[in-house]
Amino acid sequence: MQILAEFIGKTVVFFCKLFHFGGSAFPGLVVEKICPTYLQRVLSDLPYGVLVVTGTNGKTTTSKIVTELLQDYGLRVFTNKTGSNFSRGVISEYLSSGTKSFDIAVLELDEAHGIKLVEKVAPNYLLLLNVFRDQLDRFGEINYTAKLLEKFAKITTENGGVVVINSNDPLITEFSDLHFGFSDNMQSFFPDDSSLHSDSKTNSNSNSKTQNIFQLQNYKNSIATFEYQSNSYNAKLQLLGAHNALNSAAALSIVSKILDSKFDAQKSIKTLEMIKPAFGRGEKITINDSEIYLNLVKNPAGFNSSLKTIASKNSKVIYIINDDYADGRDVSWLWDVDYSNILNVEAVSGKRAYDLALKLKSQNIQINNIDESIQNIVDQIVSNKQPDNYQIFCTYTALLKTRALLSKHTDVEHIL
């Protein structure tokens, strides 16, 4: 049954690529229907086992960093690089890879649906990033999400796995003694979810039993400073923003545990400096000498951090907001974002364009164009013959649509 499922799945992948049906988990869905245990079977005998990366923000970027760090040591890594983090999306990625031999799987998993996979295949390693309000219609409030992550941690530790967590997130600090995090002087870069509504602060865990593996000490002008085993390391990152510097600390921490004595901090820092943004996470597309950056947004904390990152740049800013199931039907979180870093917005688009436009107007922000049609916005970008810098902030389905439309005008990495 597994062989039949794999054959049919690869055939579906072929036709998805042939007809440019990108961002699709459909091949994985087909395989799951034929062989429900397919993913468990292919992940069961990897030499280094399975690493699961989960949490609200940073899963895709952190998984990409981990993957490239491990590959630099010669490991063959399977990963779901598109950010499709349901089990069917993972299967689609595996089929698309050609189902070759791998040493380790690096999987980013959805906090809610991913637990179903973890209950079947206990990870050898688990990296817990953070908990923020995200897709409230699916997850409810953040305490529920934290309980889900606690279950991830419990399953991993009960099966002898290693769990590394964010020491600065009070909702998950008790789940493991192995930590990554940031120093107190970095607090202003990382407001926790509660600070959006109060003056509360996120305090790092001071328990003497905990082990801080990599800690982010400073971030300025794209240079991140990390502390590891009492030594300081500087890295000039291509991954912009303090949030990506923290993702880097998380990735370095879990990689050091996976590789153990083989880990070389200086070597990994050099590799880190060469890593480029992941799909839709500051990804750059060039058309007519204009640089177009795609940024996924899905909750207030991540959106605020992204806006701070580009506030000083001379960019044309576009917001594209949808409310399809994959985005989260409840978009009330948009009102908790501080948009005041960008006082002039080129365009607002997507199905909820007017909802966001109302919020922007309430902050006296100039909007040059409001148009629900993403096609119209992309046409305007493409027709602009002057070289410009665009920063486009999209919810998930809006990102897929925008990227697909842009790909008709330039070479873009194919994503299944």
On whether the CB atoms of residues 251 and 66 are closer than 8 A, the answer is yes
pTM value?
A: 0.81
What's 281-406's CATH class? alpha beta
Residues of the chain with CATH 3.40.1190.10: 2-272
pLDDT above 50 (res 376): yes
Quote the CA–CA distance of 54 and 280 in Å, as a whole number.
Answer: 18
On whether the CB atoms of residues 187 and 273 are closer than 8 A, the answer is no
30-35 CB contacts, 8 Å cutoff, 24+ apart? 30/5, 31/5, 31/6, 31/88, 31/91, 31/95, 32/87, 32/88, 32/91, 34/1, 34/4, 34/5, 34/8, 35/1, 35/2, 35/4, 35/5
Residues of the chain with CATH 3.90.190.20: 281-406
HSE, CB side, 13 Å, CA atoms: give it for residue 193.
Answer: 17
Average pLDDT value for residue range 244-261: 97
pLDDT above 70 (res 255): yes
User: What pairs with residue 162 in β-bridges?
Assistant: 125
pLDDT at 406: 94
CB neighbours of 373 closer than 8 A, spacing ≥ 6?
A: 349
* Span 262-312, pLDDT tens digits: 999 999 999 999 999 887 788 889 998 899 999 999 888 788 888 887 765
Average pLDDT value for residue range 308-332: 85
pLDDT at 202: 46
Average pLDDT value for residue range 226-249: 94
Under the banding of pLDDT at 50, 70 and 90, the label for residue 206 is very low
Q: What is the crossing angle of helices 242-259 and 59-71, to 10°?
A: 40
Quote the CA–CA distance of 287 and 386 in Å, as a whole number.
Answer: 10
83 against 409, higher pLDDT: 409
Under the banding of pLDDT at 50, 70 and 90, the label for residue 201 is very low
By 3-state DSSP, what share of the chain in percent is helix, strand and coil, each rounded to 5?
A: 40, 20, 40
Range with the poorest average pLDDT among 10-19, 46-55, 123-132, 135-144:
135-144
Residue among 96, 105, 111 nearest 58 (CA): 111
CB neighbours of 261 closer than 8 A, spacing ≥ 6?
A: none
Q: Tell me how far CA of residue 338 lies from CA of 68, 125, 349, 369, in angstroms.
A: 34, 36, 18, 20
DSSP class of residue 334? G
What is the fold of 2-272?
UDP-N-acetylmuramoyl-L-alanine:D-glutamate ligase (3.40.1190)
- What are the tokens at 226? 């990390």
